[in-house]
Amino acid sequence: MVIEVRKPRPLWEILFSTHHTDVGLLYIITSFVFIFLGGAMALILRAELFLPGETLISDPSVFNQIFTVHGTTMLFLWVVPFTAGVANYLVPIMIKYKDMAYPKLNSVAFWMIPPGAALVWLGFADTGWTAYPPYSILSAPGPAADMWIFGLKILGLSSILGSINFVVTILKCKHPDIPAMKMPLFVWSILVISFMTLGALPTFTAALIMLYTDRLGVSGFFNPAMGGDPIAYQHLFWFTFHPEVYIFLLPAVGMAYELVPKFSRKPIFSYVSGVIALVLLMVISFGSWAHHMLATGMSFTEKTVFMVGTLAAVPMSAMHVFNWLATAWGGRIRFSAPMMFVFGGIALFFASGAGGVLNTALPLDFITHDTYWVVGHFHLMLMGTVTLIFFGFTYYLFPLITGRMYNKMLASVHFWMTFIGSIMVFITQHILGLFAMPRRVWDYIPTPEVLVMNQIATIGAFILGIGMAVFLYNMLKSSASGKPAKMEDPFEIGEQYYDHRRREPH
Each residue's pLDDT tens digit in the chain (506 positions)? 445 545 556 777 788 889 999 999 999 999 999 999 999 999 999 999 999 988 888 888 899 999 999 999 999 999 999 999 999 999 999 999 999 999 999 999 999 999 999 999 998 988 888 999 988 887 766 788 999 999 999 999 999 999 999 999 999 999 999 999 999 999 999 999 999 999 999 999 999 999 999 999 899 999 988 889 999 999 999 999 999 999 999 999 999 999 999 999 989 999 999 999 999 999 998 888 888 888 888 888 888 888 888 888 889 999 999 999 999 998 888 889 999 999 999 999 988 888 878 878 788 888 888 899 999 999 999 999 999 999 999 999 999 888 899 999 999 999 999 999 999 999 999 999 999 899 888 899 889 999 999 999 999 999 999 999 999 999 999 998 888 888 677 887 765 554 443 443 33
- Cβ neighbours of residue 184 closer than 8 Å, sequence gap 6 or more: 94, 254, 257, 258, 500, 501, 503
DSSP character for 210?
H
25 Cβ partners below 8 Å, 6+ apart? 8, 14, 85, 89, 401
Count of CB atoms within 10 A of residue 168's CB? 15
CA pair distance 352, 292, nearest whole angstrom: 16
Q: What is the pTM of this model?
A: 0.93
List all residues 6 or more positions away from 459 whose beta carbon is below 8 Å from its beta carbon: 424
What's the one-letter identity of residue 243? P
Contact in structure between 320 and 394 (CB atoms under 8 Å):
no
SS3 484: strand
- Cis peptide bond N-terminal to 134, omega within 30: yes
Amino acid letter for position 425: V
Q: CB-based burial of residue 158 (10 Å sphere; 0-12 exposed, 13-18 middle, 19+ buried)?
A: buried
Q: Are residues 238 and 292 in contact, defined by beta-carbon separation less than 8 angstroms?
A: yes
